[in-house]
Amino acid sequence: MTTVIASVPMNVNVRPTVPAGAMPGPPADPSQTVEATRDTSLWWKSAVVYQIYPRSFADANGDGVGDLAGIIERLDHVRALGADTIWISPIYRSPMADAGYDISDYCDVDPVFGSLADADRLIGEAHARGLRVLLDFVPNHTSDQHPWFIESRSSRDNPKRDWYIWRDQPNDWRAALGAGSAWTWDEATGQYYLHLFLPQQPDLNWRNPEVVQAMHGVLRFWLDRGVDGFRIDVAHCTGKDPTFADHPRCLAGEPLADFNDDPYSHEVLRGIRKLVDSYPGDRVLVGEVNIRSTATVVQYYGAGDELHMSFNFPPLDAPWDPVVFRTCIREVDALLQPAQAWPTWVLSNHDNERHRTRYGGSMRRARAAAVMLLTLRGTPFIFQGEELGLEDVVVEPGQRVDPGGRDGPRGPIPWDFAPPHGWRAARTWLPFPPEAAALSVQTQWSQPSSMLHLYRTLIETRRASPALRLGSWEELPSPPEVLAYCRRHGDDERVVCINFAERPLPIDLEGDWRVAIDSLPEGLDRRFDGMLQPEQAVLLEPLHRPRPQPQQQRQPLQP
Ligand code: NOJ
């Protein structure tokens, strides 16, 4: 296990030049000076990241599956929302056994999404709009159709045999996605190969230096094209226990990928970090450490020499429950702060039930959760469609696509009110989420009280407030069913109160506060009277703070 050395600041590199492709850094902001003297790589701390799941975002060629040209057409939606960074789930060549997480060529785009030229255009168009681009890097496994694996399985003495993990005997390790044993027998060469996911996703052997070199080549390929960083798929899985010992949790039916935590994964990450840091422009690594333990997750920041940020998924599973959220948030504060590890916050993604669905379909709760997501200390990640309050798609048994049963959150984004909701095909690859017309982007732009406007206002407010972007986090005394906290940076101060209860509750705050954002469409800009409505969240600012002059207020963008 790697030890976290608290005194080593994260990312102390100073990179004076910006490459042709990468985004220039954010303009100097005097309010950031205190942090800036300690850390020059602030853009990703202040970022709001928007996850694009390309199959379901937007479809330019009318085949019912989203594509890169479709993303380009809709980039202005992301910009109007106010997010500044997009993470795009895999776009590479793939047989699509796991919707693109089974890659047969890391250095090309799958024809279903477009071409390499489209990827270049997308990076350029995003940068032109001030959006940074993160791609999904999938280091743990390739597709079984990748030429490397085809070679590896061709004979025991093939030079690429050792690029994958072959054994004479299986152990009890289990694969994820309901795939049973993590070992598949190869009849032709008489050995088993390892796959922590589907049999079509053989695991690479990162202990082989040629694999390291080849995968570093993949990173360089995309860094040279100007991407601003990567989301790293199952970053905790590349290292495996070299003794291949059975694991009791696997015996009990749990997939190894849920808890694999071999020290070698840290070595892999250190190598990747070194490479990425050698590029100018503050490129960033966000790791998917899919282990439900914040104490373990924090180890993957290393001594400031592994991930810049890691996902921490306990809030992604959390029901609408103040105790669960309070525990998750306190834990992040207690464990990440001393390690100088910058937190991330995720409520939904393409692998898990959408949070509105998880909260019993309640739009009211989803609105309160939005206030929480965008006011916690750390970088928020928005999964496409949560800004619309979408729920999971209802998929009939005959329509199921994903072998892991994760179709629910992957429904197409409804852009327009009228069917086919801005998609050009008669039939999309998955059905639309419920209430597609009422929740469409077009409908919500025209309604000032919509979820979309709530997200937009929250992001805009966050951007304008150093306290919300970079400030400290301190919990405030509150009734047990209310979560209240203060964010502070210099003399900028905000308070957030979230009432999880289905009844009104009072909260006793020191000082006078004005409601800057209300999760309920109740009318802003009123003095806070200390009462929280059922399942209401409010963002408060000091009552006597000078208010922005009208000419300083920005007009909201619309795509
Ligand atoms: C995590 C990804 O988010 C998921 O969609 C995928 O199935 C697995 N990793 C395997 O790549």
500 lines ligand 1 (CB under 6 A): no
Q: Cα torsion for 487, 491, 492, 494, to the nearest 10°?
A: 40
pTM of this structure: 0.92
Could you tell me if 487 and 394 lie in one domain? Answer: no
288 is an active site residue: yes
* Ligand 1 and 75: CB distance under 6 A: no
Whether 305 and 422 share a structural domain: yes
User: 197 in ligand 1 pocket by Cβ < 6 Å?
Assistant: yes
Strands 472-475 and 482-489: what pairing?
antiparallel
Name the amino acid, one letter, at 300. Answer: Y
Q: Which of 443, 467, 491 is the C-terminal boundary of a domain?
A: 467
Q: Is residue 411 part of a domain?
A: yes
With respect to residue 512, please indicate whether it lies within any of the assigned structural domains: yes
SS3 345: strand
Core vs surface per residue 17-38: b (16+ CB within 10 A) or e: eeeebbbeeeeeeebbeebeee
| Same domain assignment for residues 538 and 397 | no
Q: Is 53 in the pocket of ligand 1 (CB under 6 A)?
A: no
Q: Is 460 a catalytic residue?
A: no
In a domain, 188, yes or no: no
Instruction: Based on the fold, state whether residues 478 and 411 are members of the same structural domain.
Output: no
Domain with 264 in it: what CATH number? 3.20.20.80
The answer to whether residues 429 and 483 belong to one domain is no
- Look up the domain containing 493 and give its range: 472-542
- Say if CB 238 and CB 204 are below 8 A apart: yes
Using the mean position of ligand 1's atoms as its centre, give its distance from the Cα of residue 197 in Å.
8
Rounded distance between C-alpha atoms, residue 468 and residue 471, angstroms: 6
Ligand 1 close to Cβ of residue 233 (< 6 A): yes
User: Can you give the CATH number for the domain in which 503 is found?
Assistant: 2.60.40.1180
312 and 337 co-located in one domain:
yes
Which one from 288, 306, 392, 492 is the annotated catalytic residue? 288
| Whole-Å CA distances, 121 to 62, 72, 130, 499 | 19, 8, 14, 45
Which residue in the block uniquely carries the two structure tokens 């408060």? 540
Domain boundary at 413, 433, 467, which? Answer: 467
- Ligand 1 pocket check for 485: Cβ under 6 Å: no
Residues 352 and 382 in one domain: yes
| CB contact at 8 A, 310 and 235 | yes
Q: What is the largest CA-CA distance in the chain?
A: 77
Cβ atoms 361, 390 nearer than 8 A: no
Report d(CA 35, CA 31) in Å as an integer.
Answer: 9
Amino acid letter for position 34: V
In a domain, 401, yes or no: yes
Atom from ligand 1 closest to the CA of residue 138: 11
Same domain, 477 and 428: no
What's the domain count of the chain?
Answer: 2
Among residues 35, 102, 110, 233, the one annotated as catalytic is: 233
Residue 218 resides in a domain: yes
Closest CA to 428 of 406, 410, 412: 412
Residue whose CA is at the smallest distance from ligand 1 atom 8: 101
- Indicate whether 2 belongs to any domain: no
Reading the chain (559 residues) residue by residue, the pLDDT tens digits are 333 333 322 232 223 233 445 554 333 343 343 443 345 448 999 999 999 999 999 999 999 999 999 999 999 999 999 999 999 999 999 999 999 999 999 999 999 999 999 999 999 999 999 999 999 999 999 999 999 999 999 999 999 999 999 999 999 999 999 999 999 999 999 999 999 999 999 999 999 999 999 999 999 999 999 999 999 999 999 999 999 999 999 999 999 999 999 999 999 999 999 999 999 999 999 999 999 999 999 999 999 999 999 999 999 999 999 999 999 999 999 999 999 999 999 999 999 999 999 999 999 999 999 999 999 999 999 999 999 999 999 999 889 999 999 999 999 999 999 999 999 998 999 999 999 999 999 999 999 999 999 999 999 999 999 999 999 999 999 999 999 999 999 999 999 999 999 999 999 999 999 999 999 987 667 899 999 999 999 999 999 765 555 444 455 566 6
Which of residues 467, 498, 515 is at a domain's end?
A: 467
Shared domain for 412 and 306, answered yes or no, is yes
In a domain, 133, yes or no: yes
The C-alpha atoms of residue 140 and residue 320 are separated, in whole angstroms, by 33
Q: Answer yes or no: do 407 and 495 share one domain.
A: no
* Whether 343 and 478 share a structural domain: no
Which atom of ligand 1 approaches the CA of 288 most closely? 1
Residues near 136 by beta carbon (within 8 Å), at least 6 away in sequence: 87, 88, 89, 90, 91, 101, 230, 231, 233
Residue closest via CA to ligand 1's atom 4 equals 351
DSSP state letter for 539: E
Residues 524 and 431 in one domain: no
Residue 239 Cα to ligand 1 midpoint, Å, equals 17
353: in domain: yes
Any atom of ligand 1 within 6 Å of the Cβ of 432: no
Q: Which residues of 154-171 are buried (b: 16+ CB within 10 A; e: fewer)?
A: eeeeeebbebbbbeeebb
Annotate 51-63 with DSSP letters as a single string.
EE-HHHH--SSSS
101 CA from centroid of ligand 1 (Å): 6
